[in-house]
Amino acid sequence: MPSLSISRLNCYLGCPLQYKFRYVDLLPRPWRVAAMAFGTSVHAAIEWFHRERMDGRSPSVEEALSVFEADWFAQNVEPLVFSEKEDTDSLREKGVALLTTYLGIMAESKPKAIEAPFEIPLIDPETGEDLDLTLRGIIDLVEEGDTLVDVKTAGRTPENGGLERHLQLTTYALVFYLLHGVIPDLRLDVLLKLKTPRVEQLPTKRSLPDLAWTARLFAKTARAIEQGHFYPNPSWRCTECEYFAACQAWRG
Amino acid sequence: MRPMASNFPPDLGDPTAAGRETTTYPQLLTLAHESDLTKVLTQLVQIPTDDNGRLAIVKAEVTTARGVFEGLGDASPESVEDFLLPHLIRVAETRAKARALRDAVGIGVVSVEEISGASFPPAASGPGSGGGSGRRPLPPGLPGNGGQGDGNRLRSLPIDTSSMSEGQRRYLFRLMAARGLKGEAAHDSLKQFFGVGDLFQVSKVEATKAIDRLLQDAGQGNGHAVTQH
């Protein structure tokens, strides 16, 4: 049975040709977008912080910042491409500020699971039809009371309707529903890389039709991938695509 | 052959050498039971994700009458057979247990499972199941293939020499931070440790051995060292 993760789904929806370069052709990436690497380092520190707490220890914010800084330095060993107003040091400073604020807020939260992997057969939640696909991925955080949380670093707050259409959160809800028969509460924690870094926690919900729609999206996308539908999707994202040169050479 | 730094464990040998004598997991397990094996624990250190090149890392702890022995195992799409791609965590676990078992029973040669994962049960039709239809035949003579009668014989296989993954590099820097070395100081120390001018010259296998060594040095008392991201 084929499988598809959320990140692969998002990659394909963003640009099918980028998907092919990354996951089918396995092209080496000549550089990496700094914003992606930054998000990974912030995630690493948050994950470490929660894991320590789940293991019964009392980690300090300073220790978590040490994890972030070591991780961020390691990311910069690889060539990174920064946006105009950012560089290694400015992002490090923003990371420290964001994590100090966010971990301060989260110190009272009760994590039930962190970076929880899942791998389940995809079923249409409305019809019960087996969609012949394994759905896999990782849930950033599950809090006591079964609130599923996705943590994002971003340059701005989600656009109007972005929270309601947030595919990762809908997928979390779909997985939870398929496993437990209940639609969970959801929350998007956005760590905003603004001049004055800010954290927003945005609760949201999903309906059963939302979950069915997403299940079908996964199934149809998997079929398109299987059938080799790989074509470019020109957009503003092309300027920060690692495979720009390969794309220019593409002739179908 | 690139020389290792002098403080590198002397019994590690040259991990980039292609082809060497090997043992097998079943053989190690048998020997461990003969050494009064009492417990085998494993811990998932890194979940394979697209961000870390789908590199799974598992730590194993083996307890015998002789003491407690630890080992790390990793698995990524580049280091396993195609049919094992959906089972990276389990391959990494088998490799970790094999490494810990080798130390426990005093076997210096690498096991087949650590190198290729090829003797790991082939992919099943659904998640979480073992064996079943659709399994791809294993190469002749490998354990689990049956009919060859030489599952415990030592053999030679090529070793993965691809560069260390991003996940390994990040974890190494975090381990160094836990030892008080940060930024360029950590970078310089790692390059000296591996005897290279650029960390991209370090293979996955070398990185795994270094992580293993640093974890052993750090013991269990530091959360920085135990949890990988």
Instruction: List, for residues A92-133, the tens digit of each pLDDT value.
Output: 999 999 999 999 999 889 999 999 999 999 999 999 999 999
The more confidently predicted of residues B209 and A228 is: A228
Cα B199–B205–B207 angle (5° rounding)? 40
For residue B51, list chain A residues with Cβ-Cβ distance below 8 A. 7, 36, 40
For residue A119, list chain B residues with Cβ-Cβ distance below 8 A. 86, 127-128
Minimum Cα–Cα distance from A137: chain B residue: B49
For residue A71, list chain B residues with Cβ-Cβ distance below 8 A. 170, 173-174, 229
Subunit contact A75:B223, Cβ cutoff 8 A: no
Subunit contact B173:A70, Cβ cutoff 8 A: yes
Hey, what are B160's tokens? Answer: 């993965």
Subunit contact A69:B176, Cβ cutoff 8 A: no
Q: Does A7 contact chain B (CB < 8 Å)?
A: yes
Q: Does A27 contact chain B (CB < 8 Å)?
A: no
State which H helix or E strand residue A99 sits in: helix A88-106
- The pTM for the full model equals 0.67
Hey, what are B216's tokens? Answer: 């052993």
Subunit contact A48:B50, Cβ cutoff 8 A: no
Q: List the pLDDT tens digit at each of the 229 positions of chain B.
A: 344 343 432 232 333 333 345 677 766 776 777 667 878 888 888 888 876 778 888 888 888 777 788 888 888 887 776 667 777 888 888 888 888 888 887 776 676 666 655 443 333 333 222 333 333 333 332 233 333 333 333 333 344 557 888 899 999 999 999 889 999 999 999 999 999 999 989 998 889 888 888 888 776 444 343 334 3
State which H helix or E strand residue A217 sits in: helix A208-226
Rg of chain A, C-alpha, whole Å? 19
Query: What pLDDT was estimated at residue B32?
Result: 75
Report the 3 state secondary structure along chain B: CCCCCCCCCHHHCCCCCCCCCEECHHHHHHHHHHCCCCEEEEEEEECCCCCCCCCEEEEEEEEECCEEEEEEEEECCCCCCHHHHHHHHHHHHHHHHHHHHHHHHCCCCEEHHHHCCCCCCCCCCCCCCCCCCCCCCCCCCCCCCCCCCCCCCCCCCCCCCCECCHHHHHHHHHHHHHCCCCHHHHHHHHHHHHCCCCHHHCEHHHHHHHHHHHHHHHCCCCHHHHCCC
Query: What pLDDT was estimated at residue A235?
Result: 94
Query: Max alpha carbon distance in chain A (Å)?
Result: 56
Least confident of A128-132, A134-138, A191-195, B157-161: B157-161
Q: Are strands A130-143 and A3-5 parallel, antiparallel or unpaired?
A: parallel
CA distances from A186 to A183, A214, B109, B118, B212 (A): 9, 15, 50, 41, 38
> Half-sphere exposure (CA, 13 Å, Cβ side) for A151?
26
